Amino acid sequence: MLRTHTCGALRIEDKNKNVTLSGWVQRVRDKGGMMWIDLRDRYGITQLMFEEGKSSDELLAKARKIGREFVLQVEGEVVERFSKNDKITTGDIEVFVKKLSILNAAKTPPFTIEDDTDGGEELRMQYRYLDLRRSVVREKLQLRHKLMQATRRYMDQQDFLEVETPVLIKSTPEGARDFVVPSRVHEGEFYALPQSPQTFKQLLMVSGFDKYFQIVKCFRDEDLRADRQPEFTQIDCEMSFVEQEDILNTFEGLVKYLFKEVKGIEISDFERMTYDHAMKYYGSDKPDLRFGMPFVELNELAKGKDFNVFDQAELVVAINAPGCSEYTRKQLDALTEYVKRPQIGAKGLVYVKCNLDGSFKSSVDKFYNQDDLKTWADAADAKPGDLLLVLSGDTDHTRKCMSELRLKMGNDLELRDRNTFKPLWVLDFPLLEWDEDSQRFHAMHHPFTSPKPEDLNLIDTDPGKIRANAYDMVINGVEIGGGSIRIHNRDLQEKMFKALGFTPEEAKKQFGFLLDAFEYGAPPHGGVAFGFDRLCAMFGGSDSIRDYIAFPKNNAGRDVMIDSPATISEDQLKELHLSIKS
């Protein structure tokens, strides 16, 4: 190779060795007849040294032509540094350069290649290959690499087989969000890119593969939000002859293993709560359990005291913000403004200060006396010095608002530490959810999720109440993965399609192969899929998945570096039997 050592390898023990290094110029300093160059590669930084009198004039002249990000190859001798740098692993030494080759010159980059860069996001996306040169960015992808390798190690040890499922598949009836791929050979026909390998992994179970996994790209052509990408990566898993408990244990094991291997952290056993419990006490199916502040329902205590707002509300609910009784008017107004923002949409906020002297001060003192407020405080386990925050209205909406307020209080009180990890399984999700737009039920997870047998009798009377054998893994309020025990019986699967509004013909056309497969000896099975990009971000302590993707697309689904999507030629369109239609 064009080096004997990397730029992170040399130590004081290497003193007097003749070495060859290659890398990028991070920094050049030239003063008082001395010249230093910091040479950088993936593994570290090594200081190069030149000295007037000792180094030849020719060498010095060449070195003085060098700018930032030039690619160099140098030969020289390892010498002990006069002033050591204990911030870098090579800080005890430097290399006295004897020979210098400029392997490639570099124009001045459009932003500085430093941990703190001066480049804006669009510019860094356009020159992503330069942004990736920054250590802080590259380290995120190194973390991703480690998580991938450790995931595979664990799954392999647990006898899972990695099987690649096809990328060119078939569009589904709910496929408005499918990316499609026109066929050149089969005129007027299209492949689709998978939103997940769901049906294929179920077929692998029918095939007796027993335990399957794959780290796999999936695709969804949805209107992008800040933190969505049209292509994303899943850890996709499926097991046969299992019950829910087996899956929870297996994948709790995976995540514990990843924390141990990649971060050196032993995380606690996973809490478990039902969906209903999570909604009632945290207003969210992905509660952040790094802090408490569960919801306290005050309907019985707060109604019937002539406060119209509460009397007419379906739900009156409080959280207790510990130690906040001395919030100022301004702070309380800011909280009220926060919950009234259009994204949240509460009508207003009621507070009750639990003063240190045992008295109460609330924004509804007109309607509630000290005894009334004491019953609220007791219900919420509030102590003197605490602050109750109360919202009211329709149950679902009020819970949603209160969930946001709870998270904001968690942030304000610095209870959401990035280095604390509180994992949780949320269980017993509803099977179906009502969609107002299409006026029909949708599958909450997907149409292959099995209902709890004891709820099956509700299918004709109250389908929205049927609970599913479905579960989500949540860490620190982020949904990391989810899955279910699947249907493995043709009749039940057909009933499910019917409940979702499929005609028998549609069900057969789209999923006939799966329905057929269920008739040839399908085992009970279930699985889980993890959002790998999000898992990486969570491990990295970041909210943005984009940082953990080597070449991400922007919010409009565009790769601004390669300028894609782009037009194609008329010839290509013709070959594909297509024309553009505005």
Q: Please give the residues from 512 up to 541 whose contact with a copy of itself meets the rule CB under 8 A.
A: 513, 517-524
Residues 126-165 that bind a copy of itself (CB under 8 A): 127-130, 132-133, 138, 141-142, 144-145, 148-149, 152, 156, 161-165
Q: Which of 34, 182, 280, 364 binds a copy of itself (CB under 8 A)?
A: 182
Helices 395-412 & 275-282 angle (0-180, nearest 10): 70
Q: Is 162 part of any known ligand binding site?
A: no
Q: Tell me the CA distances in angstroms from 294 to 280, 320, 479, 503, one per residue in order.
A: 9, 8, 19, 44
- Residue 41 engages a copy of itself in binding (rule: CB under 8 A): yes
CA distance 50 to 68: 17
* Strand ranges of the sheet holding 296-297, from the earlier edge strand across to the other edge: 296-297, 315-321, 387-393, 350-354, 360-362
Q: Is 221 part of any known ligand binding site?
A: yes
- Residue 566 engages a copy of itself in binding (rule: CB under 8 A): yes
* Closest CB to a copy of itself among residues 332, 576: 576
Q: Which of 9, 71, 267, 413 binds a copy of itself (CB under 8 A)?
A: 71
- Residue 576 engages a copy of itself in binding (rule: CB under 8 A): yes
Of 35-43, 269-277, 332-340, 396-404, the window that binds a copy of itself (rule: CB under 8 A) is 35-43
Place of tokens 């029918």: 206
* Closest CB to a copy of itself among residues 28, 163: 163
Of 324-332, 353-361, 403-411, 561-569, the window that binds a copy of itself (rule: CB under 8 A) is 561-569
Q: How many residues bind a copy of itself (CB under 8 A)?
A: 125
Is the backbone peptide bond immediately before 565 cis, with ω within 30 degrees of 0?
yes
Instruction: Give first-to-last CA distance, the chain, whole Å.
Output: 55
Q: Is 575 part of any known ligand binding site?
A: no
Coil/strand/helix, residue 296:
strand
- Residue 187 engages a copy of itself in binding (rule: CB under 8 A): yes
Q: Is 152 part of any known ligand binding site?
A: no
Residues 459-478 that bind a copy of itself (CB under 8 A): none
* Closest CB to a copy of itself among residues 308, 439: 439
Cβ contact 29:35 at 8 Å: yes
- Residue 169 engages a copy of itself in binding (rule: CB under 8 A): yes
Closest to 66 (Cα-Cα) out of 118, 19, 34, 104? 104
Residues 191-230 that bind a copy of itself (CB under 8 A): 191-193, 199-200, 203-204, 206-210, 217, 219, 221, 223, 230
* Closest CB to a copy of itself among residues 258, 407: 258
Q: Which of 184, 341, 418, 498 binds a copy of itself (CB under 8 A)?
A: 184
CA distance 499 to 487: 14
Q: Tell me the CA distances in angstroms from 490 to 417, 486, 494, 502, 570, one per residue in order.
A: 47, 12, 6, 15, 46
Sign of the dihedral defined by the CA atoms of residues 238, 243, 246, 247, in that order: positive
What's the per-residue H, E or C state across 166-212?
Answer: CCCECCCCCHHHCCEEECCCCCCCEEECCCCCHHHHHHHHHCCCCEE
Residues 106-125 that bind a copy of itself (CB under 8 A): 106-107, 109
Of 2-10, 299-307, 369-377, 495-503, the window that binds a copy of itself (rule: CB under 8 A) is 2-10
Q: Tell me the CA distances in angstroms from 189 to 184, 185, 230, 352, one per residue in order.
A: 8, 9, 22, 64
Least distance to a copy of itself, CB of residue 561, Å: 5
Beta bridge partners of 98: none
* Closest CB to a copy of itself among residues 246, 314: 246
* Closest CB to a copy of itself among residues 356, 578: 578
Of 69-77, 92-100, 396-404, 444-452, the window that binds a copy of itself (rule: CB under 8 A) is 69-77
CA distance 463 to 461: 6
Annotated binding site for L-aspartate: 174, 220, 445, 486
Annotated binding site: 174, 220-222, 229, 445, 479, 486, 531-534
Annotated binding site for ATP: 220-222, 229, 479, 531-534
